[in-house]
């Protein structure tokens, strides 16, 4: 989840206060995502739980999962 954390952390730092940013986070680690997101202020993040697919399936299925959610 470090890519998502880095992306959200960067957006939280650089997005202007009058701009609304919403992320859709598809993860099998919901509790970890909720703990991290409790510290973010500016970004709205919708967490969607997905089945743990492992590598490489998670990478191969990312577009299908995005479309479904």
- For residue 47, the model assigns a pLDDT of 87
Structural domain count of the chain: 1
- For residue 40, the model assigns a pLDDT of 66
pTM of the model: 0.68
d(CA 67, CA 69): 6
pLDDT in tens, 3-58: 888 888 888 788 777 877 888 888 888 888 888 877 666 678 888 888 888 889 88
pLDDT in tens, 29-41: 888 888 887 766 6
Q: Which residues contact 34 (CB under 8 A, 6 or more apart)?
A: 47
Fill in the DSSP letter of residue 26.
E
């Amino acid at each position: 989840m470090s890519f998502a954390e880095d992306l959200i952390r960067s957006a939280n730092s650089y997005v202007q206060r009058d701009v609304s940013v919403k992320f859709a986070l598809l993860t099998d680690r919901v509790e970890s995502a909720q703990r991290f997101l409790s510290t973010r202020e500016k970004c709205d993040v919708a967490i969607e739980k997905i089945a743990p697919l492992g590598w490489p399936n998670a990478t191969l299925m990312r577009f299908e999962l995005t479309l479904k959610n």
